[in-house]
């Protein structure tokens, strides 16, 4: 039988039989043997025991890859798509293939990605250089949204792509100005 705790009541005395019963029960509790921890600085010792079910430890690349795949799947996106002449499958892609895609001449490299974005922006704003600032503002908003989605920072290739986009948009506006002056 358990009693309720009443803070307004004075402390109760425990009878000798209750004390004996409490001592017996505490002595019967199974105690764990002491566990020793070892710390080695500058040395690596082979682990001779594995605790638990023998969990698989993934490399950072595998963790990132699995996170990206899971995120894409959770969003209902396809893991296979066609990029130019190349078929891309995120589930089977090797590190080398991913590096090729983001290389200077790769489909997701700075040059090709910036050109796709510029073409989209120019066409989306009716091929009108007068709307240059609106294009740049929309692109800024997209990059800031991506930065927020990625936890506040983007990789260096994103900054390079952004810079290339702004240069190409400025060149587009300058080209239109130059052709307007010739007329």
What are the tens digits of pLDDT across the range 64-73? Answer: 778 878 887 8
Residue 161: per-residue pLDDT: 94
Average pLDDT over residues 32-52: 58
Distance between terminal CA atoms of the chain?
101
Q: Which two tokens stand for residue 113?
A: 């990605």
User: Tell me, what's the pLDDT at 54?
Assistant: 60
Q: Is the pLDDT of residue 5 over 80?
A: no
**Angle in degrees, CA 83, 89, 94, rounded to 5:** 110
**Banded pLDDT at 61 (limits 50, 70, 90):** confident
What does the pLDDT average to over 86-99? 84
* For range 28-42, the mean pLDDT: 58
Question: Which pLDDT band holds residue 85 (cuts at 50, 70, 90)?
Answer: confident
d(CA 145, CA 138): 11
The answer, yes or no, to whether residue 181 has pLDDT greater than 70, is no
Summarize the confidence of residues 10-26 as an average pLDDT: 66
Q: Which residues pair with 83 in a beta bridge?
A: 86
Segment among 25-39, 60-74, 77-91, 113-127 with least mean pLDDT = 25-39
- Per-residue pLDDT band at 87 (split at 50, 70, 90): confident
Beta-carbon neighbour count of residue 54 at 10 Å? 6
Closest residue by Cα to residue 77 from 65, 86, 85, 89: 89
Residue 38 CB contacts under 8 Å (≥ 6 apart), including other chains: 45
Q: Residue 123 has what DSSP assignment?
A: H
Supply the pLDDT for residue 70.
85
C-alpha span between 19 and 15 (Å, rounded) = 6
Please give the residue that has the higher pLDDT: either 63 or 115: 115
What is the rounded distance in angstroms from the CA atom of residue 96 to the CA atom of residue 102? 10
Percent of the chain with pLDDT over 90: 28
């Amino acid at each position: 039988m358990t009693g309720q705790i009443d803070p307004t009541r004075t402390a109760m005395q425990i009878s000798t039989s209750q004390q004996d019963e409490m001592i017996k029960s505490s002595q019967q509790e199974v105690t764990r043997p002491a566990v020793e921890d070892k710390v080695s600085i500058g040395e690596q010792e082979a682990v001779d025991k594995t605790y638990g079910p023998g969990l698989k430890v993934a490399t950072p690349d595998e963790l990132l890859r699995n996170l990206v795949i899971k995120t894409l799947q959770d969003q209902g996106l396809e893991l296979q798509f066609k990029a130019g002449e190349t078929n891309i499958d995120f589930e089977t892609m090797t590190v080398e293939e991913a590096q090729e895609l983001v290389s200077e001449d790769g489909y997701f490299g700075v040059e090709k990605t910036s050109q796709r974005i510029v073409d989209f922006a120019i066409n989306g704003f009716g091929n009108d250089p007068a709307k240059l600032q609106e294009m740049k503002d929309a692109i800024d908003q997209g990059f800031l949204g991506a930065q927020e989605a990625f936890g506040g920072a983007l990789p260096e290739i994103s900054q390079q792509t952004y810079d290339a986009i702004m240069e190409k948009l400025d060149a587009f506006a300058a080209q239109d100005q130059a052709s307007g002056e010739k007329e």
